[in-house]
Amino acid sequence: MTSARLVAPPAVSDDSSAVLDFIRQTAAIADIELRKLLRDPTEVLARAVQPVLWITIFGQVFSRVRAIPTGNVSYLAFMTPGILAQSVLFVAIFYGVAVIWERDLGIVHKLLVSPAHRSALVYGKALSAGFRGALQVTVIYILALLMRIPVVWKPLSMLGVVLGAMLGSAIFATFSFIIACLVKSRERFMGIGQLMTMPLFFASNAIYPLAIMPTWLRYVALANPLTYLVDALRGLMIGQPQAHSLLVNFSVIGIIFVVLAAIATKLYPTLVR
Amino acid sequence: MGTLENTVDKNSETQATGEVPHAIETFGLTRRFGSVNAVDQISFHVPYGAIFGLLGPNGAGKSTAIKMLTTLLEPSEGTATVAGFDIVKSATQVRRRIGYVPQALSADGALTGYENLSLSARLYGIPRAERKPRILEALKFMGLEEPANRLVKTYSGGMIRRLEVAQAMLHRPTVLFLDEPTVGLDPVARRSVWERLLELRRNYQMTVLITTHAMDEADELCDSLAILHFGKIAAIGNPADLKASVGPDANLDDVFVHYSGGTIQEEGSYRDVRQARRTAGRLG
Protein backbone atom coordinates (compact mmCIF):
# COMPACT_ATOMS: atom_id res chain seq x y z
CA MET A 1 0.00 0.00 0.00
CA THR A 2 2.84 2.36 0.72
CA SER A 3 4.72 1.57 -2.50
CA ALA A 4 4.61 4.18 -5.24
CA ARG A 5 1.93 3.70 -7.85
CA LEU A 6 1.69 5.06 -11.33
CA VAL A 7 -2.07 4.98 -11.30
CA ALA A 8 -3.94 6.48 -8.41
CA PRO A 9 -5.95 3.87 -6.49
CA PRO A 10 -9.72 4.22 -6.45
CA ALA A 11 -11.06 6.74 -3.99
CA VAL A 12 -12.72 4.07 -1.92
CA SER A 13 -11.40 0.66 -1.09
CA ASP A 14 -13.10 -1.71 1.27
CA ASP A 15 -10.35 -4.28 1.40
CA SER A 16 -7.54 -3.39 3.72
CA SER A 17 -5.86 -5.21 6.56
CA ALA A 18 -7.80 -4.64 9.76
CA VAL A 19 -4.72 -5.06 11.95
CA LEU A 20 -2.58 -2.64 9.92
CA ASP A 21 -5.43 -0.13 9.84
CA PHE A 22 -5.83 -0.43 13.58
CA ILE A 23 -2.13 0.23 14.17
CA ARG A 24 -2.05 3.18 11.77
CA GLN A 25 -5.14 4.77 13.26
CA THR A 26 -3.95 4.27 16.84
CA ALA A 27 -0.63 5.86 15.92
CA ALA A 28 -2.39 8.79 14.21
CA ILE A 29 -4.45 9.59 17.31
CA ALA A 30 -1.50 9.17 19.68
CA ASP A 31 0.68 11.30 17.41
CA ILE A 32 -1.61 14.33 17.43
CA GLU A 33 -2.19 14.04 21.17
CA LEU A 34 1.57 13.99 21.70
CA ARG A 35 1.99 17.06 19.50
CA LYS A 36 -0.60 18.91 21.57
CA LEU A 37 1.10 17.82 24.79
CA LEU A 38 4.55 18.98 23.66
CA ARG A 39 3.18 22.23 22.29
CA ASP A 40 1.63 23.18 25.59
CA PRO A 41 3.30 21.29 28.45
CA THR A 42 2.09 23.71 31.15
CA GLU A 43 -0.51 21.23 32.37
CA VAL A 44 2.00 18.41 32.71
CA LEU A 45 4.54 20.67 34.37
CA ALA A 46 1.91 21.91 36.81
CA ARG A 47 1.08 18.30 37.61
CA ALA A 48 4.72 17.69 38.43
CA VAL A 49 4.45 20.04 41.40
CA GLN A 50 2.26 17.64 43.33
CA PRO A 51 4.69 14.69 43.58
CA VAL A 52 7.45 17.13 44.46
CA LEU A 53 5.40 18.40 47.40
CA TRP A 54 4.48 14.91 48.54
CA ILE A 55 8.05 13.72 48.58
CA THR A 56 9.69 16.85 49.94
CA ILE A 57 7.13 17.64 52.64
CA PHE A 58 5.08 14.56 53.50
CA GLY A 59 8.01 12.22 52.81
CA GLN A 60 10.52 14.18 54.88
CA VAL A 61 8.18 14.45 57.86
CA PHE A 62 7.14 10.82 57.85
CA SER A 63 10.74 9.72 57.51
CA ARG A 64 11.39 11.33 60.87
CA VAL A 65 8.32 9.89 62.52
CA ARG A 66 9.36 6.33 61.60
CA ALA A 67 5.78 5.24 62.23
CA ILE A 68 5.52 3.05 59.17
CA PRO A 69 7.53 -0.17 58.94
CA THR A 70 9.27 -0.23 55.56
CA GLY A 71 11.73 -3.09 55.99
CA ASN A 72 15.34 -2.37 55.17
CA VAL A 73 14.70 0.79 53.09
CA SER A 74 14.08 4.34 54.25
CA TYR A 75 10.50 5.59 54.23
CA LEU A 76 11.43 8.14 51.58
CA ALA A 77 12.69 5.41 49.26
CA PHE A 78 9.63 3.29 50.10
CA MET A 79 7.15 6.01 49.19
CA THR A 80 8.89 7.23 46.01
CA PRO A 81 7.42 4.52 43.73
CA GLY A 82 4.09 5.07 45.48
CA ILE A 83 4.18 8.78 44.69
CA LEU A 84 5.05 8.03 41.08
CA ALA A 85 1.99 5.77 40.89
CA GLN A 86 -0.08 8.46 42.59
CA SER A 87 0.96 11.16 40.17
CA VAL A 88 0.24 8.82 37.27
CA LEU A 89 -3.22 8.26 38.75
CA PHE A 90 -3.92 11.95 39.38
CA VAL A 91 -2.86 13.00 35.90
CA ALA A 92 -4.77 10.23 34.14
CA ILE A 93 -7.99 10.30 36.14
CA PHE A 94 -9.00 13.68 34.71
CA TYR A 95 -8.39 12.61 31.14
CA GLY A 96 -12.14 12.28 30.67
CA VAL A 97 -12.55 16.05 30.90
CA ALA A 98 -10.78 16.34 27.55
CA VAL A 99 -13.13 13.73 26.10
CA ILE A 100 -16.17 15.67 27.27
CA TRP A 101 -14.64 18.86 25.89
CA GLU A 102 -14.18 17.17 22.52
CA ARG A 103 -17.78 16.08 22.66
CA ASP A 104 -19.10 19.55 23.48
CA LEU A 105 -17.27 20.68 20.39
CA GLY A 106 -17.86 18.37 17.41
CA ILE A 107 -14.53 16.56 17.49
CA VAL A 108 -15.94 13.28 18.77
CA HIS A 109 -18.58 13.39 16.02
CA LYS A 110 -15.90 13.88 13.43
CA LEU A 111 -13.83 10.97 14.74
CA LEU A 112 -16.82 8.62 14.95
CA VAL A 113 -17.98 9.39 11.40
CA SER A 114 -14.56 8.35 10.11
CA PRO A 115 -14.05 4.69 9.18
CA ALA A 116 -11.42 4.36 11.93
CA HIS A 117 -11.87 1.41 14.27
CA ARG A 118 -13.54 2.58 17.47
CA SER A 119 -11.00 0.59 19.44
CA ALA A 120 -8.15 2.42 17.64
CA LEU A 121 -9.58 5.72 18.84
CA VAL A 122 -9.61 4.40 22.42
CA TYR A 123 -6.14 2.82 22.24
CA GLY A 124 -4.73 5.97 20.64
CA LYS A 125 -6.00 8.05 23.55
CA ALA A 126 -4.68 5.49 26.04
CA LEU A 127 -1.26 5.56 24.38
CA SER A 128 -1.17 9.33 24.60
CA ALA A 129 -2.06 9.08 28.29
CA GLY A 130 0.87 6.69 28.53
CA PHE A 131 3.21 9.45 27.31
CA ARG A 132 2.01 11.62 30.15
CA GLY A 133 2.78 8.81 32.55
CA ALA A 134 6.27 8.53 31.09
CA LEU A 135 6.82 12.24 31.71
CA GLN A 136 5.93 11.75 35.37
CA VAL A 137 8.61 9.06 35.54
CA THR A 138 11.17 11.63 34.41
CA VAL A 139 10.05 14.04 37.12
CA ILE A 140 10.36 11.38 39.83
CA TYR A 141 13.82 10.23 38.72
CA ILE A 142 15.08 13.83 38.67
CA LEU A 143 13.69 14.29 42.15
CA ALA A 144 15.32 11.06 43.33
CA LEU A 145 18.63 12.25 41.92
CA LEU A 146 18.40 15.64 43.63
CA MET A 147 17.30 14.21 46.97
CA ARG A 148 19.70 11.27 46.84
CA ILE A 149 16.91 8.77 47.21
CA PRO A 150 18.47 5.33 46.66
CA VAL A 151 16.64 4.14 43.54
CA VAL A 152 17.94 1.46 41.17
CA TRP A 153 19.68 3.13 38.21
CA LYS A 154 19.76 0.08 35.93
CA PRO A 155 18.47 0.74 32.39
CA LEU A 156 16.33 -2.39 32.32
CA SER A 157 14.64 -1.55 35.63
CA MET A 158 14.08 2.01 34.47
CA LEU A 159 12.57 0.76 31.24
CA GLY A 160 10.26 -1.43 33.30
CA VAL A 161 9.27 1.61 35.37
CA VAL A 162 8.44 3.58 32.23
CA LEU A 163 6.39 0.68 30.87
CA GLY A 164 4.56 0.30 34.20
CA ALA A 165 3.81 4.02 34.42
CA MET A 166 2.53 4.03 30.84
CA LEU A 167 0.27 1.06 31.46
CA GLY A 168 -0.96 2.53 34.73
CA SER A 169 -1.65 5.80 33.01
CA ALA A 170 -3.51 4.00 30.23
CA ILE A 171 -5.67 2.17 32.78
CA PHE A 172 -6.75 5.22 34.74
CA ALA A 173 -7.20 7.35 31.62
CA THR A 174 -9.41 4.66 30.08
CA PHE A 175 -11.35 4.36 33.32
CA SER A 176 -11.80 8.13 33.23
CA PHE A 177 -12.86 7.86 29.58
CA ILE A 178 -15.59 5.39 30.60
CA ILE A 179 -16.87 7.71 33.34
CA ALA A 180 -16.92 10.57 30.81
CA CYS A 181 -19.04 8.46 28.41
CA LEU A 182 -21.47 7.73 31.25
CA VAL A 183 -21.87 11.20 32.79
CA LYS A 184 -21.35 13.29 29.62
CA SER A 185 -21.08 16.63 31.45
CA ARG A 186 -18.00 18.36 32.81
CA GLU A 187 -19.59 19.42 36.09
CA ARG A 188 -20.68 15.91 37.02
CA PHE A 189 -17.38 14.50 35.86
CA MET A 190 -15.28 16.78 38.06
CA GLY A 191 -17.33 15.78 41.09
CA ILE A 192 -16.91 12.09 40.39
CA GLY A 193 -13.22 12.48 39.54
CA GLN A 194 -12.52 14.09 42.90
CA LEU A 195 -14.60 11.44 44.62
CA MET A 196 -12.61 8.57 43.09
CA THR A 197 -9.02 9.67 43.46
CA MET A 198 -8.86 9.65 47.26
CA PRO A 199 -10.18 6.09 47.82
CA LEU A 200 -8.04 4.77 44.97
CA PHE A 201 -4.99 6.38 46.50
CA PHE A 202 -5.51 5.60 50.17
CA ALA A 203 -6.89 2.09 49.63
CA SER A 204 -3.60 1.08 48.08
CA ASN A 205 -0.05 0.35 49.16
CA ALA A 206 1.22 3.67 47.77
CA ILE A 207 2.32 5.28 51.03
CA TYR A 208 2.07 2.40 53.52
CA PRO A 209 2.55 -1.35 53.17
CA LEU A 210 -0.37 -3.75 52.86
CA ALA A 211 0.81 -5.50 56.02
CA ILE A 212 -0.23 -2.70 58.38
CA MET A 213 -3.75 -2.36 56.92
CA PRO A 214 -6.81 -3.72 58.72
CA THR A 215 -7.94 -6.92 57.01
CA TRP A 216 -10.96 -5.43 55.25
CA LEU A 217 -8.88 -2.62 53.77
CA ARG A 218 -6.29 -5.11 52.59
CA TYR A 219 -8.99 -6.84 50.55
CA VAL A 220 -10.09 -3.54 49.09
CA ALA A 221 -6.48 -2.74 48.24
CA LEU A 222 -6.08 -6.09 46.52
CA ALA A 223 -8.98 -5.18 44.21
CA ASN A 224 -7.35 -1.85 43.40
CA PRO A 225 -5.23 -1.78 40.23
CA LEU A 226 -3.06 0.92 41.80
CA THR A 227 -1.78 -1.64 44.32
CA TYR A 228 -0.37 -3.84 41.54
CA LEU A 229 1.16 -0.85 39.83
CA VAL A 230 2.83 0.31 43.06
CA ASP A 231 4.02 -3.21 43.82
CA ALA A 232 5.61 -3.52 40.38
CA LEU A 233 7.20 -0.07 40.55
CA ARG A 234 8.52 -0.70 44.05
CA GLY A 235 10.19 -3.90 42.92
CA LEU A 236 11.74 -2.20 39.92
CA MET A 237 12.71 1.11 41.50
CA ILE A 238 14.02 0.23 44.93
CA GLY A 239 14.44 -3.52 44.58
CA GLN A 240 12.24 -4.26 47.56
CA PRO A 241 10.73 -7.78 47.63
CA GLN A 242 7.21 -7.57 46.31
CA ALA A 243 3.87 -8.94 47.43
CA HIS A 244 3.39 -10.37 43.92
CA SER A 245 5.86 -11.26 41.21
CA LEU A 246 6.47 -8.81 38.38
CA LEU A 247 4.70 -11.21 36.06
CA VAL A 248 1.57 -11.24 38.22
CA ASN A 249 1.62 -7.44 38.63
CA PHE A 250 2.04 -6.73 34.93
CA SER A 251 -0.51 -9.39 33.96
CA VAL A 252 -3.11 -7.94 36.32
CA ILE A 253 -2.70 -4.37 35.07
CA GLY A 254 -2.48 -5.57 31.46
CA ILE A 255 -5.70 -7.53 31.70
CA ILE A 256 -7.51 -4.70 33.48
CA PHE A 257 -6.43 -2.36 30.70
CA VAL A 258 -7.71 -4.62 27.92
CA VAL A 259 -11.07 -5.05 29.69
CA LEU A 260 -11.46 -1.31 30.32
CA ALA A 261 -10.50 -0.52 26.71
CA ALA A 262 -13.18 -2.95 25.48
CA ILE A 263 -15.81 -1.24 27.64
CA ALA A 264 -14.66 2.21 26.49
CA THR A 265 -14.85 1.10 22.84
CA LYS A 266 -18.45 0.00 23.41
CA LEU A 267 -19.41 3.24 25.17
CA TYR A 268 -17.59 5.78 22.99
CA PRO A 269 -20.27 5.97 20.27
CA THR A 270 -22.96 6.69 22.91
CA LEU A 271 -21.27 10.06 23.59
CA VAL A 272 -22.84 11.59 20.48
CA ARG A 273 -26.34 10.14 20.71
CA MET B 1 -8.89 12.97 -11.17
CA GLY B 2 -11.51 13.25 -8.48
CA THR B 3 -14.21 13.31 -11.09
CA LEU B 4 -13.09 10.10 -12.67
CA GLU B 5 -12.71 8.32 -9.34
CA ASN B 6 -16.11 9.32 -8.19
CA THR B 7 -17.71 8.11 -11.38
CA VAL B 8 -15.93 4.78 -11.22
CA ASP B 9 -16.83 4.39 -7.60
CA LYS B 10 -20.46 5.24 -8.22
CA ASN B 11 -20.81 2.80 -11.08
CA SER B 12 -19.28 -0.09 -9.24
CA GLU B 13 -21.62 0.44 -6.31
CA THR B 14 -24.64 0.63 -8.55
CA GLN B 15 -23.64 -2.55 -10.26
CA ALA B 16 -22.78 -4.27 -7.04
CA THR B 17 -25.98 -3.51 -5.21
CA GLY B 18 -28.38 -3.18 -8.13
CA GLU B 19 -29.77 -0.02 -6.55
CA VAL B 20 -31.17 2.87 -8.50
CA PRO B 21 -28.50 5.53 -8.67
CA HIS B 22 -29.44 7.63 -5.68
CA ALA B 23 -26.80 8.94 -3.35
CA ILE B 24 -29.22 8.88 -0.42
CA GLU B 25 -32.46 6.97 0.00
CA THR B 26 -34.51 6.74 3.15
CA PHE B 27 -37.52 4.54 3.78
CA GLY B 28 -39.71 5.44 6.76
CA LEU B 29 -36.67 6.52 8.77
CA THR B 30 -37.67 7.03 12.40
CA ARG B 31 -35.87 7.80 15.63
CA ARG B 32 -37.57 7.90 18.99
CA PHE B 33 -36.20 9.41 22.20
CA GLY B 34 -38.45 8.08 24.93
CA SER B 35 -41.96 8.76 23.72
CA VAL B 36 -40.94 11.58 21.39
CA ASN B 37 -40.50 10.88 17.70
CA ALA B 38 -37.58 13.16 16.89
CA VAL B 39 -37.67 11.89 13.31
CA ASP B 40 -40.94 10.36 12.21
CA GLN B 41 -41.24 8.17 9.12
CA ILE B 42 -39.26 10.27 6.70
CA SER B 43 -38.75 8.96 3.16
CA PHE B 44 -36.85 10.82 0.47
CA HIS B 45 -34.13 10.29 -2.08
CA VAL B 46 -31.31 12.44 -3.36
CA PRO B 47 -29.80 11.84 -6.81
CA TYR B 48 -26.02 11.76 -7.24
CA GLY B 49 -24.55 15.22 -7.66
CA ALA B 50 -27.49 17.10 -6.15
CA ILE B 51 -27.50 19.55 -3.26
CA PHE B 52 -30.35 18.67 -0.96
CA GLY B 53 -31.55 20.77 1.95
CA LEU B 54 -33.23 19.62 5.14
CA LEU B 55 -35.04 22.64 6.52
CA GLY B 56 -36.89 23.15 9.72
CA PRO B 57 -37.03 25.17 12.89
CA ASN B 58 -34.78 24.26 15.81
CA GLY B 59 -35.84 20.90 17.20
CA ALA B 60 -37.56 19.74 14.00
CA GLY B 61 -35.33 16.67 13.75
CA LYS B 62 -32.73 17.84 11.25
CA SER B 63 -29.72 16.98 13.35
CA THR B 64 -31.21 13.64 14.36
CA ALA B 65 -31.79 12.79 10.71
CA ILE B 66 -28.25 13.71 9.75
CA LYS B 67 -26.85 11.70 12.67
CA MET B 68 -28.69 8.61 11.43
CA LEU B 69 -27.49 9.09 7.86
CA THR B 70 -23.89 9.54 9.03
CA THR B 71 -24.11 6.32 11.16
CA LEU B 72 -23.77 8.13 14.49
CA LEU B 73 -27.24 7.11 15.58
CA GLU B 74 -29.16 3.93 14.81
CA PRO B 75 -32.70 4.40 13.56
CA SER B 76 -35.53 3.08 15.74
CA GLU B 77 -37.41 2.11 12.61
CA GLY B 78 -37.02 2.29 8.86
CA THR B 79 -33.92 2.01 6.72
CA ALA B 80 -31.70 4.19 4.59
CA THR B 81 -28.87 3.78 2.13
CA VAL B 82 -26.05 6.22 1.53
CA ALA B 83 -23.87 5.77 -1.58
CA GLY B 84 -25.67 2.46 -2.08
CA PHE B 85 -24.92 0.99 1.36
CA ASP B 86 -27.23 0.35 4.27
CA ILE B 87 -26.49 2.78 7.12
CA VAL B 88 -26.83 0.07 9.78
CA LYS B 89 -25.65 -3.15 8.14
CA SER B 90 -22.78 -1.57 6.19
CA ALA B 91 -21.91 1.33 8.48
CA THR B 92 -18.16 1.12 7.78
CA GLN B 93 -18.67 1.17 4.01
CA VAL B 94 -20.92 4.19 4.43
CA ARG B 95 -18.30 5.94 6.61
CA ARG B 96 -15.63 5.47 3.94
CA ARG B 97 -17.85 7.26 1.42
CA ILE B 98 -19.12 10.23 3.38
CA GLY B 99 -17.75 13.46 4.73
CA TYR B 100 -19.40 15.22 7.65
CA VAL B 101 -19.18 18.72 9.04
CA PRO B 102 -20.98 18.73 12.39
CA GLN B 103 -22.86 21.77 13.61
CA ALA B 104 -20.49 22.23 16.52
CA LEU B 105 -16.87 23.14 16.01
CA SER B 106 -14.97 20.04 14.90
CA ALA B 107 -11.54 21.37 14.00
CA ASP B 108 -9.01 21.02 16.80
CA GLY B 109 -7.85 24.47 17.90
CA ALA B 110 -4.67 23.13 19.46
CA LEU B 111 -3.47 21.79 16.11
CA THR B 112 -2.52 23.61 12.92
CA GLY B 113 -4.80 23.49 9.90
CA TYR B 114 -2.38 21.11 8.20
CA GLU B 115 -2.28 18.80 11.22
CA ASN B 116 -6.06 18.66 11.36
CA LEU B 117 -6.16 17.49 7.77
CA SER B 118 -3.26 15.14 8.28
CA LEU B 119 -5.13 13.36 11.08
CA SER B 120 -8.13 12.85 8.81
CA ALA B 121 -5.94 11.61 5.98
CA ARG B 122 -4.51 8.95 8.27
CA LEU B 123 -7.83 7.93 9.79
CA TYR B 124 -9.29 7.54 6.30
CA GLY B 125 -6.33 5.42 5.18
CA ILE B 126 -5.11 7.73 2.43
CA PRO B 127 -1.75 6.22 1.40
CA ARG B 128 1.28 8.07 2.71
CA ALA B 129 2.52 9.15 -0.72
CA GLU B 130 -0.80 10.79 -1.53
CA ARG B 131 -1.41 12.52 1.78
CA LYS B 132 0.58 15.66 1.22
CA PRO B 133 -0.64 16.46 -2.32
CA ARG B 134 -4.23 15.79 -1.27
CA ILE B 135 -3.97 17.98 1.82
CA LEU B 136 -2.38 20.80 -0.17
CA GLU B 137 -5.06 20.47 -2.83
CA ALA B 138 -7.84 20.68 -0.25
CA LEU B 139 -6.22 23.63 1.50
CA LYS B 140 -5.78 25.44 -1.81
CA PHE B 141 -9.34 24.70 -2.83
CA MET B 142 -10.62 26.19 0.41
CA GLY B 143 -8.26 29.19 0.23
CA LEU B 144 -6.32 28.18 3.33
CA GLU B 145 -2.78 27.71 2.03
CA GLU B 146 -1.41 30.75 3.80
CA PRO B 147 -2.61 29.96 7.35
CA ALA B 148 -2.07 26.19 6.99
CA ASN B 149 0.72 26.07 9.56
CA ARG B 150 -0.94 28.31 12.09
CA LEU B 151 -2.85 26.95 15.08
CA VAL B 152 -6.56 26.75 14.30
CA LYS B 153 -7.42 28.69 17.45
CA THR B 154 -6.07 31.79 15.68
CA TYR B 155 -8.46 31.31 12.71
CA SER B 156 -11.60 33.36 12.09
CA GLY B 157 -15.01 31.64 12.13
CA GLY B 158 -15.20 31.53 8.35
CA MET B 159 -11.72 30.06 8.05
CA ILE B 160 -12.56 27.34 10.58
CA ARG B 161 -15.65 26.38 8.62
CA ARG B 162 -13.68 26.22 5.40
CA LEU B 163 -11.05 24.10 7.13
CA GLU B 164 -13.76 21.73 8.31
CA VAL B 165 -15.09 21.41 4.79
CA ALA B 166 -11.52 20.79 3.57
CA GLN B 167 -11.20 18.07 6.17
CA ALA B 168 -14.50 16.50 5.16
CA MET B 169 -13.64 16.48 1.43
CA LEU B 170 -10.10 15.18 1.79
CA HIS B 171 -10.95 11.54 1.10
CA ARG B 172 -13.21 12.55 -1.83
CA PRO B 173 -16.47 11.40 -0.31
CA THR B 174 -19.42 10.51 -2.49
CA VAL B 175 -21.77 12.36 -0.17
CA LEU B 176 -20.96 15.36 1.99
CA PHE B 177 -23.15 16.13 5.02
CA LEU B 178 -23.15 19.58 6.55
CA ASP B 179 -25.15 20.35 9.67
CA GLU B 180 -25.99 24.08 9.78
CA PRO B 181 -22.78 25.01 7.92
CA THR B 182 -23.10 28.78 8.19
CA VAL B 183 -24.70 29.29 11.60
CA GLY B 184 -22.96 32.12 13.44
CA LEU B 185 -21.00 33.36 10.41
CA ASP B 186 -21.07 36.91 9.11
CA PRO B 187 -22.55 37.51 5.62
CA VAL B 188 -19.20 37.59 3.83
CA ALA B 189 -18.02 34.36 5.43
CA ARG B 190 -21.37 32.69 4.66
CA ARG B 191 -21.13 33.63 1.02
CA SER B 192 -17.61 32.26 0.79
CA VAL B 193 -18.72 28.94 2.29
CA TRP B 194 -21.61 28.77 -0.22
CA GLU B 195 -19.30 29.44 -3.14
CA ARG B 196 -16.95 26.69 -2.02
CA LEU B 197 -19.81 24.22 -1.72
CA LEU B 198 -21.14 25.00 -5.19
CA GLU B 199 -17.66 24.63 -6.61
CA LEU B 200 -17.15 21.39 -4.74
CA ARG B 201 -20.16 19.96 -6.48
CA ARG B 202 -19.00 21.34 -9.83
CA ASN B 203 -15.42 20.08 -9.55
CA TYR B 204 -15.88 16.80 -7.74
CA GLN B 205 -19.50 15.87 -8.50
CA MET B 206 -20.13 15.51 -4.79
CA THR B 207 -23.62 15.02 -3.52
CA VAL B 208 -24.29 17.44 -0.68
CA LEU B 209 -26.89 17.31 2.07
CA ILE B 210 -27.16 20.37 4.27
CA THR B 211 -29.45 21.22 7.14
CA THR B 212 -30.34 24.83 7.68
CA HIS B 213 -32.98 27.13 9.00
CA ALA B 214 -31.81 30.00 6.81
CA MET B 215 -34.06 30.41 3.81
CA ASP B 216 -31.59 32.45 1.77
CA GLU B 217 -29.12 29.62 2.16
CA ALA B 218 -31.60 27.04 0.93
CA ASP B 219 -32.58 29.27 -1.99
CA GLU B 220 -28.97 29.84 -2.96
CA LEU B 221 -27.72 26.28 -2.73
CA CYS B 222 -30.39 23.62 -2.89
CA ASP B 223 -31.69 21.80 -5.96
CA SER B 224 -34.40 20.33 -3.81
CA LEU B 225 -35.37 20.44 -0.20
CA ALA B 226 -37.56 18.93 2.46
CA ILE B 227 -39.16 20.94 5.24
CA LEU B 228 -39.25 19.06 8.52
CA HIS B 229 -41.85 19.83 11.13
CA PHE B 230 -42.03 17.88 14.40
CA GLY B 231 -39.93 15.16 12.78
CA LYS B 232 -42.17 14.69 9.76
CA ILE B 233 -41.66 15.87 6.21
CA ALA B 234 -44.16 18.70 5.81
CA ALA B 235 -43.20 19.49 2.22
CA ILE B 236 -40.66 18.30 -0.32
CA GLY B 237 -39.67 19.51 -3.78
CA ASN B 238 -37.49 22.00 -5.60
CA PRO B 239 -37.52 25.58 -4.32
CA ALA B 240 -39.48 26.96 -7.32
CA ASP B 241 -42.27 24.38 -7.06
CA LEU B 242 -42.53 24.87 -3.31
CA LYS B 243 -42.87 28.61 -3.74
CA ALA B 244 -45.49 28.16 -6.46
CA SER B 245 -47.47 25.80 -4.24
CA VAL B 246 -47.90 28.49 -1.59
CA GLY B 247 -48.75 31.49 -3.75
CA PRO B 248 -47.76 33.46 -6.84
CA ASP B 249 -45.38 35.85 -5.08
CA ALA B 250 -44.29 33.57 -2.27
CA ASN B 251 -40.65 33.43 -1.20
CA LEU B 252 -39.05 30.58 0.71
CA ASP B 253 -39.77 32.27 4.02
CA ASP B 254 -43.48 32.09 3.19
CA VAL B 255 -43.08 28.44 2.22
CA PHE B 256 -41.35 27.73 5.48
CA VAL B 257 -43.93 29.48 7.61
CA HIS B 258 -46.74 27.87 5.64
CA TYR B 259 -45.45 24.32 6.13
CA SER B 260 -43.98 24.58 9.57
CA GLY B 261 -47.18 26.23 10.75
CA GLY B 262 -45.62 29.02 12.73
CA THR B 263 -42.87 31.54 13.02
CA ILE B 264 -39.32 30.58 12.44
CA GLN B 265 -37.72 31.21 15.79
CA GLU B 266 -40.50 30.32 18.19
CA GLU B 267 -39.63 26.67 18.62
CA GLY B 268 -36.69 24.72 19.97
CA SER B 269 -35.65 23.69 23.40
CA TYR B 270 -33.25 25.33 25.82
CA ARG B 271 -30.69 22.75 24.78
CA ASP B 272 -30.95 23.65 21.09
CA VAL B 273 -30.60 27.32 21.84
CA ARG B 274 -27.65 26.73 24.09
CA GLN B 275 -25.97 24.56 21.46
CA ALA B 276 -26.58 27.07 18.67
CA ARG B 277 -25.35 30.00 20.73
CA ARG B 278 -22.27 28.14 21.86
CA THR B 279 -21.42 27.23 18.31
CA ALA B 280 -22.05 30.76 17.16
CA GLY B 281 -19.95 32.09 20.01
CA ARG B 282 -17.02 29.88 19.18
CA LEU B 283 -17.16 30.55 15.48
CA GLY B 284 -17.75 34.26 15.75
pLDDT digits (tens, 9 = 90+) for B179-206: 999 888 889 989 998 998 999 888 888 9
Mean pLDDT computed over B246-254 = 81
Per residue in A78-117, pLDDT (tens digit) is: 999 999 999 999 989 989 999 999 999 899 999 999 999 9
Which comes out higher in pLDDT, residue B41 or B263? B41
Residue of chain B whose alpha carbon sits nearest to that of A121:
B123
B83 pLDDT band, cuts 50/70/90, is: very high
Residues in contact with B64: Cβ distance below 8 Å, sequence separation at least 6, in sequence order: B31, B38, B39, B73, B231
| pLDDT for residue B277 | 62
Question: Cβ A24–B122 below 8 Å, yes or no?
Answer: yes
Taking the CA atoms of residue A34, residue A36, residue A42 and residue A43 in that order, the dihedral angle to the nearest 10 degrees is -70
Residues of B in contact with A21 (CB under 8 A): 125
Beta partners for B101? B178
Q: Which of A173-177, B25-29, B54-58, B124-128 has the lowest mean pLDDT?
A: B54-58
Task: Give yes or no for a contact between A119 and A112, defined as CB atoms under 8 angstroms apart.
Answer: no
Nearest to A32 among B67, B119, B174 (CB): B119
Q: Which domain CATH number covers B185?
A: 3.40.50.300
* Cα–Cα distance for residue pair B185/B200, rounded to 1 Å: 20
Question: Cβ A106–B106 below 8 Å, yes or no?
Answer: yes
* Cα–Cα distance for residue pair A221/A213, rounded to 1 Å: 9
Mean pLDDT computed over B266-277 = 58
Three-state DSSP state, B120: helix
How much is the mean pLDDT over chain A? 89
A1 pLDDT band, cuts 50/70/90, is: very low
Test mutation, B33, B82, B87, B122, chain A, max A CBs within 10 A: B122
B274 pLDDT band, cuts 50/70/90, is: low
ipTM metric: 0.86
Per residue in B18-39, pLDDT (tens digit) is: 445 799 999 999 999 988 999 9
Per residue in B115-167, pLDDT (tens digit) is: 999 999 999 999 999 999 999 999 999 999 999 999 999 999 889 999 999 99
Beta strands in chain A (DSSP E): none
* Cα–Cα distance for residue pair B25/B36, rounded to 1 Å: 23
Which residues span the domain enclosing B49?
2-283
Which comes out higher in pLDDT, residue B261 or B226? B226
Q: For the stretch A34-65, what's the b/e string if a residue is b when 16 or more beta carbons lie within 10 angstroms of its beta carbon?
A: ebbbeeeeeebeebbebbbebbeeebeebbee
Residues of B in contact with A109 (CB under 8 A): 72, 100, 102, 104, 106
Which comes out higher in pLDDT, residue B5 or A251? A251
How much is the mean pLDDT over chain B? 85
* Cα–Cα distance for residue pair A152/B150, rounded to 1 Å: 44
Per residue in B229-241, pLDDT (tens digit) is: 999 999 999 988 8
Three-state DSSP state, B102: coil
Question: Cβ B95–A114 below 8 Å, yes or no?
Answer: yes
B271 pLDDT band, cuts 50/70/90, is: low
pTM for the model stands at 0.87
Question: Cβ B167–A110 below 8 Å, yes or no?
Answer: yes
Q: Does B105 touch chain A (CB under 8 A)?
A: yes
| pLDDT for residue A9 | 33
Q: Say if residue B111's pLDDT is above 80.
A: yes
Q: Does A187 touch chain B (CB under 8 A)?
A: no
* Cα–Cα distance for residue pair B27/B10, rounded to 1 Å: 21
- Mean pLDDT highest for which of A32-46, A221-235, B10-24? A221-235
| pLDDT for residue B19 | 47
Three-state DSSP state, A225: helix
Sorted by where each begins, the domain ranges of chain A are 41-59+72-272
B17 pLDDT band, cuts 50/70/90, is: very low
Range 30-49 of A in CB contact (< 8 A) with B: 32, 35-36, 39-40
Residues of B in contact with A36 (CB under 8 A): 108, 110-111
Which comes out higher in pLDDT, residue A232 or B273? A232
Q: Does A6 touch chain B (CB under 8 A)?
A: no
Per residue in A26-70, pLDDT (tens digit) is: 999 999 999 998 898 887 778 888 888 999 888 888 888 777 888
Q: Say if residue A237's pLDDT is above 90.
A: yes
Q: What is the Cα Rg of chain B in Å? A: 18
Question: Cβ A113–B110 below 8 Å, yes or no?
Answer: no
B273 pLDDT band, cuts 50/70/90, is: low
Q: Does B205 touch chain A (CB under 8 A)?
A: no
| pLDDT for residue A86 | 94
Which comes out higher in pLDDT, residue B264 or B21? B21
Count of the separate structural domains present in chain B: 1
Residue of chain A whose alpha carbon sits nearest to that of B131:
A2
Q: Say if residue B9's pLDDT is above 50.
A: no
| pLDDT for residue B283 | 52
Question: Cβ B92–A113 below 8 Å, yes or no?
Answer: no
Mean pLDDT computed over B62-81 = 95
Residue of chain A whose alpha carbon sits nearest to that of B116:
A32
